[in-house]
Amino acid sequence: MFQATYNCYENGLRVPDNEIILRFAKYYDVSPAYMFGFCHLQNEAEYYKEILEHISENGDSDGSYARIALEELVA
């Protein structure tokens, strides 16, 4: 990729297509959802950390929160 093209992406002068966004996600080790702006979590590790923090703070005696979170992750 040319530096000029990357600069256009950074400055909002061009919009990368989905394939380029997926390549950036892989390069920067973040989730595609994060690159598309659908999620505030950068990767799976942050996702798991947020789940565990929620369970630690609020409890999850029947495991429903963990189950739903894992189903979303797999989907």
Q: What is the pLDDT of residues 29-68, one digit of tens each?
A: 887 777 877 777 667 777 778 778 888 888 888 888 777 7
| 29 DSSP assignment | T
The per-residue pLDDT for 74 is: 66
* CA atoms lying within 13 Å on the CB side of residue 46: 10
Residue 3: CA atoms inside 13 Å, Cβ hemisphere, count? 0
- Angstrom distance (rounded) from CA 38 to CA 12: 18
For residues 42 and 65, give the distance between their C-alpha atoms in angstroms, rounded to a whole number.
20
From residue 57, alpha-carbon distances to 34, 48, 49 in Å are: 25, 14, 12
